[in-house]
Amino acid sequence: MGVAKYIKDEKDSIKEVIYQSGIKVKPVYTPKDLEDVGFEYDNDLGDPGEYPFTRNLHPQGYRSRAWTTRQYTGFGTPQETNERFKLMISHGQTGLNVAFDLPTQMGYDSDDPKALGEVGRVGMAIDSLRDFEIAFDGIPLDRIGSGLTINAVASIMLAMYQAAAEKFGYPKEKISATPQNDILKEMIGRGAWIFPVEQAVRLVGDSIEYSVKELPRCNPVSICGYHIRESGANPAQEIACAFEIAKAYIENVQSRGLAVEDFVGRFSFNLNVFGNLWEQIAKFRAARKLWAKMLKEEYGVQEKKKLFLRGLFGGGGSGLTKEQPENNIMRGAFYALGAALSGAQTTALCSFDEAYTIPTPRAALLSLRTLEILMDEVGLRDTVDPLAGSYFIETLTKQMETKIQDEMKQIQDVGGMVHAVASGFIQRKVAQQAYEYESGIQKGVYIKVGVNKYALGSEAQTDVELHEYDEQGVDKQIAGLNELRRARDNREVKRLLKELDKAARDGRNVMPLLVDCCRAYATVGEMSGVFRDVFGEWHEPSIF
Amino acid sequence: MITKKIKILIGKPGLDGHDRGAKVTALALRDAGMEVIYTGLHQTVEQIVRAAVQEAVDVVGLSIMSGAHLPICQKLLDLMKVEGIQEIPVVVGGVIPKQDIPKLSELGVAGVFPGGTSFDQIVDGINEVAK
């Protein structure tokens, strides 16, 4: 939902502007507006680096450190992915953001009948620790952090990452992994879920608890408003859903006897940048503030750093169009500008060809360069929070804060996020909005350049170079898996899987056993199979 | 003349979970007066064919975003033949590169609606193949 609603008169003069979150924008803002919304510098902003962090998490923003760029990478075999990782690092990328293929995300081995046609297609295929050993070979895992875009089986991948790092000689205390691990948003948006809601949330809780105790530099969960927005939520709902999801995880871990103060600093967020520029900026500023306030006031978190809303502001996928794909290069630049003006700590940008294919190397490099130009050429590092004090931006930030709170209240009123997802409440709302938006585009209510304005017609559509699917890579992957099953100690694998089964049934934290299983080269399909047996699978609520 | 309401099954085959397109299209078809049955995510081709038989639908629609549209359609059409329901037209939407449209037609897919196709075009297309 990339655009606001504009009501114009017959002379093309804009009479009304309504943002997606429902905020009406005035033609002129003055100090009176700040007064009307009750704006106070100390309460609403504070200096950068000071509570409530509306302006920035750090006193000098990008002057002390530019943002971290983390383009989403990974395809085909672990070998190819390893080459691409090394290429991106040599281009200046400072963190990895790993894509897995669908069978891996859904807990199937590459030779499972359900994996047919999908192995290595949208990310790399991982069957066992052997594949991680190849994928991360030669990557300095004590210096480069890795985002692992995986959710239903994130606990398995985190365990495998630890096992791989240890094999390379990096102690578990030194590694920095951020598995996405946000299963509730998968159930709302992205769809890569396996287990029923409660059990799935328990696995998230297990990995958070384990990280707090064993992996001091890992961020075990990255909460994704991103995909909820991609599915049709407006910017205020994106943040509201993310915060309500966070609360569901907080409460799970809290129920294990851990203090919120001791783990919430490990949470990070993944939020979307597409849409109206000002609305996004207000969204990020309001979100930083609300998160800090919520942790302090509702959960009694004290330590400053633990109140930070850290994370990746980036992507922008559903703002991109299939029509005139080169326009997406410009769109990406403007979305990234919004992220930079909002003080994004980490970022990544969808590539211009992503409406068609997983990015070609050229497109991925263009995205990275876009981010680098902002930092190194055009002045985004000059001063922190350059828009602070703007009558418009500060009014909007206050209004956005109220909208987010209203949306959070609606979720609380149906019993919190676990209930809202299990009943289909959120999914229904988001799908209906997506439909209304899509209809709005088709009727010209919302403008999309190259689609419903300045369109060229289908004959003139540009072809983009497609990333080829490698059938031979699949055969190689499956051959490797078969060889692994012959070579490993199968009795030990069987014994450990049985232990895992027992831990899952007994309600014990499954992480230590997952690490043992990974070390013994148990496969993703085998470990997920244990969970499938114990937990069963989720049945989506009907939303129509 | 009373025209019969078209009954369409929207299936999400395979492991891909991006269902915004499928849901939005389902809502548009329903608004256009069709009876829509949505299978939900992660369906096997066998499950989709079974649902088509049980629900006695007039059209089967698939939403595929992962790039695996060719093997999936091939398998679905083969199985429909085995089940004796090959006369039910199959339409496909999703991320479908232009060069694959003739290949899908050759397989026997009755209509292809790549991302960006308008609701009106989809409704017209389905009305056409359901005749």
Rounded to a whole number of angstroms, the distance from the CA of B12 to the nearest CA of chain A is 11
Q: How many CB atoms within 10 Å of residue A213? A: 14
**Each residue of A312-337: pLDDT tens digit?**
999 999 899 888 999 999 999 999 99
pLDDT at B131 over 70: yes
- Whether B15 sits inside 8 A of A463 (CB atoms) is no
Residue B2 resides in a domain: no
Average pLDDT over residues A420-445: 94
Residue B42 resides in a domain: yes
Which letter does DSSP use for residue A365 in this model? H
A80 band by pLDDT with thresholds 50, 70 and 90: confident
Cis previous bond, B97, omega within 30: no
Nearest chain A alpha carbon to B43: A114
Answer whether B46 touches A (CB < 8 Å).
Answer: no
- Whether A230 sits inside 8 A of B14 (CB atoms) is no
Is residue A138 a contact partner of residue A82, using CB atoms and an 8 Å limit? yes
A1 band by pLDDT with thresholds 50, 70 and 90: very low
Phi, then psi, of A25 in degrees rounded to 5: -105, 135
The CATH number given to whatever domain includes residue B33 is 3.40.50.280
**Domain count across chain B:** 1
User: How many Cα neighbours within 13 Å face the side chain of A1?
Assistant: 33
Answer whether B74 touches A (CB < 8 Å).
Answer: no
Domain boundaries, chain A: 5-45+176-451
Give pTM, 2 decimals: 0.94
The residues near A527 (Cβ < 8 Å, ≥ 6 apart) are A107, A153, A156, A497, A500, A514, A517, A518
Radius of gyration of chain A (CA): 23
User: How many Cα neighbours within 13 Å face the side chain of B40?
Assistant: 15
**Each residue of A5-55: pLDDT tens digit?**
999 999 999 999 999 999 999 999 999 999 999 999 999 999 999 999 999
Rounded to a whole number of angstroms, the distance from the CA of B82 to the nearest CA of chain A is 19
Rounded to a whole number of angstroms, the distance from the CA of A540 to the nearest CA of chain B is 7
Residue B33 resides in a domain: yes
Answer whether B113 touches A (CB < 8 Å).
Answer: no
Which letter does DSSP use for residue A51 in this model? T
**Measured between alpha carbons, how far is A225 from A233 in angstroms, rounded to an integer?**
9
The residues near A457 (Cβ < 8 Å, ≥ 6 apart) are none
Of B92 and A355, the structure prediction assigns the larger pLDDT to B92
Residue B21 resides in a domain: yes
Answer whether A152 touches B (CB < 8 Å).
Answer: no
Fold classified for A5-45+176-451? TIM Barrel (3.20.20)
Helix (H) or strand (E) holding B58: none
Q: Which residues of A touch B28 (CB under 8 A)?
A: 435, 438-439
Helices of type H across B1-131: 20-31, 45-55, 69-82, 101-107, 119-129
Answer whether A108 touches B (CB < 8 Å).
Answer: yes
Nearest chain B alpha carbon to A192: B17
| Whole-number Cα distances in Å, B109 to B25, B75, B78 | 18, 12, 12
Q: Of B15, B19, B73, B121, which to mutate for an interface test with A (greatest number of A Cβ within 10 Å)? A: B15
ipTM of the modeled complex: 0.92
- Whether A544 sits inside 8 A of B14 (CB atoms) is no
**Measured between alpha carbons, how far is A268 from A404 in angstroms, rounded to an integer?**
18
**Measured between alpha carbons, how far is A69 from A362 in angstroms, rounded to an integer?**
17
Residue B1 resides in a domain: no
Report the SS3 class of residue B114. Answer: strand
Q: Residues 442-461, chain A: which have Cβ within 8 Å of B? A: 442, 451, 461
Encoded tokens for A232: 């049709």
Residue A315 falls in which region: left (phi positive, over 0), alpha (psi -120 to 50) or beta: left
Answer whether B121 touches A (CB < 8 Å).
Answer: no
Residues spanned by the domain of B102: 7-129
**Measured between alpha carbons, how far is A171 from A164 in angstroms, rounded to an integer?**
10
Answer whether A385 touches B (CB < 8 Å).
Answer: no
**Each residue of A104-135: pLDDT tens digit?**
999 999 999 999 888 998 889 999 999 999 99
- Whether A463 sits inside 8 A of B40 (CB atoms) is no
